[in-house]
């Protein structure tokens, strides 16, 4: 839900502030957040490369509509040249590097946390269906029902006897206890570390702000960037087609606003705690 919401915010940014390039930019946004989801759920992909690919594919769109707009779109070949030179001419300044740092320090702990929770589920499912020995079953029976023979139906077994029986019945899994306590402690430490500036909720829901900063920087440095591009790729080569406008579904905006105003108890941070 958090990834969908962050994608929603970023696409809405283009629809509200950069409507003429929203359709093309939304495709870049969708691909980026697909990568984010794949990484968190265990796919072996590079977060640095995902961020770089996002800004690489975004640059031709920004160049075409903000830096050097024209009546028609730039050609596919020219767009490919722009993608190749983006990392050298740095149209978005230090924003991509900042995004790489935030994503790298945020997504890996989140993926580890999720994997650890899944491991805990496996352990619980395994130890939750124990088959007791006959001796253990007899001891449990005696502990629970012997007082009944004396008519003492409400009396509970004494603590010492109860603990001895439980220890005997759980002897086969007792060795898990030490490791389980260490696991829980590590999980608590990891959860505590996933807070503050690099909390995944904070980073993902503010990604659209980083993108906006990057677009503002590109617009301010437009003339200089245009000159740099001309040196490497030549003057813009255009094709006789027009980019579609914003096609972002309006109810997605409403859904995003509704989800943003959700109860504070439903935040990922509180659920994790």
Residue 22, pLDDT > 90, answer: yes
> Considering Cα of 20, then 23, then 27, then 33, what sign does the dihedral take?
positive
pTM for this structure?
Answer: 0.78
Read off the pLDDT band of 11 (50, 70, 90).
very high
Tens-digit pLDDT profile for residues 139-170 = 988 888 777 788 888 888 888 988 999 888 88
Q: Which two tokens stand for residue 21?
A: 């390039």
Q: Name beta bridge partners: 74.
A: 238
User: What is the pLDDT, as a whole number, of residue 251?
Assistant: 45
Return the pLDDT at 248: 54
Non-local CB neighbours of 261 within 8 Å, separated by 6+ positions: none
pLDDT of residue 210: 96
pLDDT class for 133, splitting at 50, 70, 90?
confident
Task: Give the model's confidence band at 113: pLDDT under 50 very low, under 70 low, under 90 confident, else very high.
Answer: very high
Return d(Cα 128, Cα 270) in angstroms, integer. Answer: 27
Count Cβ neighbours within 10 Å for each residue of 75-102 and write b for 16 or more, e otherwise: eeebbebbeebbeebbbbeebbeebbeb
For tokens 């960037």, the residue is 225
Q: pLDDT tens digits for 188-242?
A: 999 888 887 778 999 999 999 999 999 999 999 999 999 999 999 998 888 766 5
Which tokens in the block code for residue 210? 């980083």
Return the closest-CA partner of residue 231 out of 61, 62, 81. Answer: 81
Q: Where are the alpha helices (DSSP H) in 128-199?
A: 134-149, 159-169, 174-193
What tokens were used for 259?
A: 């989800």
pLDDT at 250 over 50: no
Q: What pLDDT is stored for residue 256 in this prediction?
A: 42
Residue 246's pLDDT is 64
Sign of CA dihedral 84, 88, 93, 95: positive
Distance CA 161, CA 197 (A): 51
What is the model's pLDDT at position 216?
95
Section 267-271 average pLDDT: 83
pLDDT of residue 247: 58
Give 53-81 pLDDT, tens digit per residue.
999 999 999 999 999 888 788 999 999 99
Does the pLDDT at position 254 exceed 50?
no
């Amino acid at each position: 839900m958090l990834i969908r919401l962050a994608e929603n915010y970023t696409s809405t940014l283009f629809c509200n502030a950069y409507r003429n390039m929203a359709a093309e930019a939304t495709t870049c946004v969708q691909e980026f957040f697909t990568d984010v989801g794949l990484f968190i759920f265990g796919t072996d992909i590079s977060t640095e490369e995902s961020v770089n690919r996002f800004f690489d594919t975004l640059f031709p769109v920004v160049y075409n509509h903000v830096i050097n707009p024209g009546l028609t779109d730039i050609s596919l070949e020219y767009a490919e040249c722009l993608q190749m030179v983006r990392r050298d001419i740095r149209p978005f300044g230090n924003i991509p590097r900042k995004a790489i740092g935030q994503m790298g320090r945020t997504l890996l702990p989140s993926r580890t946390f999720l994997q650890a929770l899944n491991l805990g589920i496996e352990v619980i499912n395994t130890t939750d269906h124990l088959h007791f020995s006959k001796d253990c079953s007899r001891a449990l029976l005696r502990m629970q029902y012997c007082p009944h023979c004396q008519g003492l139906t409400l009396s509970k077994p004494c603590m010492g006897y109860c603990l001895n029986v439980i220890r005997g019945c759980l002897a086969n899994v007792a060795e898990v206890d030490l490791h389980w306590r260490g696991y829980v402690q590590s999980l608590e430490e990891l959860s505590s570390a996933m807070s503050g500036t690099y909390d995944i909720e904070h980073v993902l829901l503010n990604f659209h702000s980083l993108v906006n900063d990057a677009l503002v920087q590109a617009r301010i440095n437009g003339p200089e960037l245009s000159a740099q591009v001309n040196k490497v790729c030549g003057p813009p080569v255009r094709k006789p087609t027009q980019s579609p406008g914003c096609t972002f579904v309006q109810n997605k905006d409403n859904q995003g606003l509704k989800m943003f105003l959700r109860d504070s108890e439903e935040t990922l941070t509180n659920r994790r705690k």
